[in-house]
Structure 1
Amino acid sequence: MRKYEWRFVAAGSVLTILFLIVVNYVTGVEYPWFIYPVLLLLLLPFGIYAIIEKKQILFSLVGSFILLVYLVLENYISTPDYPWVLYTIAPIVLWPILTVLGTRNKNMTVAISMSLIFTLYYVLLNVYLAPAYPWAIFPAFLILWWPLSLYHAKRKAYFAFSVNAALFISLFLISVNVFFSPDAIWAVYPIFAVLWWPLSMYYFSYRQKV
């Protein structure tokens, strides 16, 4: 019975896509707006199929490909003069890679190597598209939490994690302050709030020992 569920959804999605294409070209062919709902209509039946058949890897591969094709078309149609789709490639490609790796994502070598590749991609993209603004620090800040958290989680060093994480956040805030608004020293205010994290962890561990 469950196999018929995704087939019913797939048939409904195909018919809906054909209907939207016809309506789009009957009402006006100057803009192909049907591509927006088509993304959901393609992923929905395939997602149900992947859940029923337990084929998460296949869904990540096909889903990332469909999403990437959709974004390329949207970039070409809406803003062909600026390749903003390049910003989305790294996380989209990372999705099937992490799915294929599975439990190996908990390996420090995998976490460090994938984080470095991810960061390097955005650094090169930053240099190519906007060398005057070092915006690559934002995706680097996000992805580097992976190896940082994994390292301390494996050792159950929660207090050390709070200290290193506070230093990491402080360094990030200072970099943003220096690069994007050097005339106003505002980073000290959120840094002061972040410092309460290791202080509270130290107080908690001290009380546990007492």
Structure 2
Amino acid sequence: MTSPRVAFAVMGSLMSIAFLILVNHLTSPGYLWVIHPAFAIIQWPIAMYFAASGRLKAYSAVTSLLIILYLIVENLSQSPEHPWFLYPAFAIIWWPIIMYAGRFAGTLRMALIGSFCIIISYGALNLLLSPQFPWIIFPAYVALWWPMSIYFSRSRKWFEYALCASLLTSALFIVLNAVTSPDHIWAVYPIFAVIWWPLSMHYYAKRPPI
């Protein structure tokens, strides 16, 4: 019952891609736009095959590889002077990594390793490909929430979580202020709003019983 569906998906995809190739050649041979719909169409038989066999981990690996290959083709055809595909590629490979990690994916150790790898990898990309602006502060800020959230949620230290998150967010604003506009101190405004999170939790815990 499953095999005919997969075969139909394969034949339907091949016929659709062949038709689009013909249309691309007849209407605009100077621009190979067929790769965009072809990439989407080919996901149909791939998803059908791996869903039928229950191999979801393998599906994540194959699909991630195809997405990265698609980005490489786009990069080489549109802007070969700058390898921008590396920026989304590292984020995409975390899908199969998390899938194959299984139960380990939800551990604090995995969060620490993952956030460290994210910061190091994007930091290297920032330094090598676009050193004009330290944009690494943004993915680093997001990555640090991963282990921080797991640690404090498991220990149920909600005030400490709010305090650390507020300090992390304040540090982001301070660094961003220093990098973008050091002559104008604007970071105090969002920091003032952020510190109300741990303050409200502290005074809520200290409230007198009703």
What residue is the counterpart of 1:125 in the other structure?
A: 125
**Aligned residue type for 1:142:** V
Aligned residues: 210
Structure 1 residue identity aligned to 2:159: F
Residue correspondence of structure 1 range 108-119 to structure 2 within 5 A: 108-119=108-119
Counterpart Cα distance in 2 of 1:134 and 1:103: 34
Q: Structure 1: give runs of 5+ residues left out of the alignment.
A: none
- 1:134-155 CA distances to partner (integer Å, 9 max, x unpaired)? 1111111111111111111111
| Residues 6 and 189 of structure 1: CA distance in aligned 2, closer, same or farther (over 3 Å) | farther
Deviation at 1:17, TM superposition (A): 1.2
- CA gap 1:57/1:209 in 2 versus in 1, 3 angstroms: farther
Whichever residue aligns with residue 64 of structure 1, its letter is S
Task: Name the structure 1 match of 2:20.
Answer: 20
Q: Using the alignment, how far apart are the partners of 2:50 and 2:181 within structure 1?
A: 47
Aligned 1:1-210 pairs, distance under 5 A: 1-207=1-207
Deviations 1:95-114 (A, max 9, x none): 11111102211222221112
More divergent stretch after superposition (75-84 vs 199-208): 199-208
SS, match of residue 144 in structure 1: helix
Shift of 1:208: 8.3
Deviation at 1:133, TM superposition (A): 1.2
What's the CA shift for 1:169?
0.8
In the TM superposition, what is the alpha-carbon distance from 1:57 to its structure 2 partner? 0.6
Deviation (angstroms), 1:203: 3.2
Structure 2: gaps spanning 5 or more residues: none
TM-score by length of 2: 0.91
Instruction: Provide closer, same or farther for how the CA distance between residues 77 and 111 of structure 1 changes in structure 2, counting only shifts above 3 A.
Output: same
**Alpha-carbon deviation of 1:184?**
2.6
Deviation, structure 1 residue 11: 2.7
- Pair 21,187 (structure 1): closer, same or farther in 2 beyond 3 Å: same
Amino acid of the residue matched to residue 22 of structure 1? L
Cα gap change, 1:156/1:32 in structure 2, threshold over 3 Å: closer, same or farther? same
SS in 1 for 2:135: coil
In 2: Cα distance, 1:171 partner to 1:131 partner: 21
Deviation of 1:6 (Å):
4.3
Q: 1:156 to 1:35 in 2, by over 3 A?
A: same
Q: 1:32: Cα distance to partner?
A: 0.6
Report SS of the residue matched to 2:29. coil
Deviation readout 1:77-101 (Å, 9 max, x if unpaired): 1111111112122101211111110
TM-score using structure 1 length: 0.91
Q: 1: distance between equivalents of 2:36 and 2:4?
A: 26
Using a 3 Å threshold, how does the CA distance of structure 1 residues 107 and 177 change in structure 2: closer, same or farther? Answer: same
- Percent sequence identity over aligned pairs: 38
- Give the CA RMSD over aligned residues: 1.9
Instruction: Encode CA deviations 1:26-67: one digit per residue, 9 max, x unaligned.
Output: 222211101111221122332344344332211110011000
Give secondary structure in 1 for the equivalent of 2:206. Answer: helix
